Amino acid sequence: MASTVVADIGGTSSRWGVLSEGREARVLEGLPGFNPAVGEPEMFIQTVRERSLAESIIAEEVFVYGAGCGSPERAMRMAETLLTIWPEARVDVGSDLLGAAHGLLSDRTGLVLILGTGMNAGWYDGTVLHQPMPSLGYILGDEGSGADIGKRIVRDALHGRLPEDVLEAAFPDGADPAGVVKEVYRGAAPQAWLASFTGRIANVPHPYVKELVLESFGRLARLLSAYFPQDQRAEVHATGSVAFGLREPLRTALAEEGMHLSDVQPSPMPGLMRYHSALVR
């Protein structure tokens, strides 16, 4: 039976909703991500294809919301990638931020924030997504993201500035400068590799961790204040692993800039499934 597939694809991981007429909706987790702006798709294609075959998914329509898909060129690269998996499907690609807006707000208005491996934000008017803030990626931007925090951890480790227990959590086998340089400058997925350090140290009870996270989120909050007027940023709707896992320090940092974190979800997928379910009734 042909299905409608709804995909939330980040730089590190992806989630796939499968909607079939007359059947209960299902969500597939534990699949890799792919960012067409910075990554290569081979492992992503292989893993998703294998899972699709195992789950007997015959996709008629594929609605994709992906990191790095904000430009026509990168959206086309994502579409071409998915057509190698489902060559007969109609593939529609939108940005991950549009997916967050549809999943968290449906037809309501609000400031939408993605905070995971990377960061992006925009104001949704219930129909159109407005993005006055440029998305500069993990080298020049992504303030408060997993990659942003991870860069600071790696840099401090190599300069000998990490407290011992934080160092052990981040680098259980020791920090090797040559290995770090290889991963950051020649690795297949440097953004995801850097972001992995945020997860490793997030629950270490040390003042360094608390200060680092609050400082990163403070920069993010000040950036949002610079791009969005008060009436648009009063209520923030956030999604992503970093936003959800570190929601209390995020709430604190946003409040200092006059913003209220009104909703935070690990993924927009439940809302996206509701948003698209009317298509297959």
Per-residue model confidence (pLDDT) at position 189: 78
Question: What is the SS3 string spanning 79-137?
Answer: HHHHHCCCCCCEEEEEEHHHHHHHHHHCCCCEEEEEECCCEEEEEECCCCEECCCCCCH
- Asked if the structure places residue 82 within a domain, the reply is yes
Q: Which two tokens stand for residue 269?
A: 């997928």
How far, in Å, CA of 119 to CA of 242, rounded?
10
Tell me if 46 is assigned to some domain: yes
pLDDT score of 203: 86
Cα separation, 191 vs 42, whole angstroms = 17
What per-residue confidence (pLDDT) applies to 22? Answer: 62
- Is residue 19, in this structure, part of any structural domain at all? yes
Which residues make beta-bridge pairs with 16? Answer: 7, 28
Confidence (pTM)? 0.84
Whichever domain contains 56, its CATH number is: 3.30.420.40
- For residues 118 and 189, the answer to whether their CB atoms sit within 8 Å is no
Tell me, what's the pLDDT at 217?
96
Domain that holds residue 6: 2-101+269-280
Determine contact, residues 43/32, Cβ cutoff 8 Å. yes
Amino acid code (one letter) for 133: M
Residue 279: predicted pLDDT: 52
Determine the pLDDT at residue 174. Answer: 84
Residue 232 in any domain: the answer is no
In a domain, 41, yes or no: yes
231 touches 136 (CB < 8 A): no
Task: Please state, in angstroms and rounded to a whole number, the distance separating the CA atoms of residues 210 and 76.
Answer: 40
Q: What is residue 186's predicted lDDT score, i.e. its pLDDT?
A: 84
Asked whether residue 88 is domain-assigned, the answer is yes
* Structure tokens, 19: 């909607």
Residue 87 lies in a domain: yes
> Radius of gyration (Cα) for the chain, nearest Å?
19
In this structure, are residues 267 and 239 in contact, taking their beta carbons and an 8 Å threshold? yes
Count of domains for the chain: 1
Judge whether 133 lies within some domain.
Answer: no
How do the pLDDT tens digits run along the chain, 281 residues long? Answer: 578 899 998 877 888 998 877 667 888 888 888 888 777 888 889 999 999 888 888 888 999 998 888 888 999 999 999 999 989 899 999 998 999 999 999 889 999 999 998 899 999 998 899 988 888 877 888 899 999 999 999 999 999 999 998 998 989 888 888 888 888 888 877 888 899 999 898 889 899 999 999 999 999 999 999 999 999 999 999 999 999 999 999 999 999 999 999 999 988 988 988 888 765 55
Element containing residue 265 per DSSP (H, E): strand 260-265
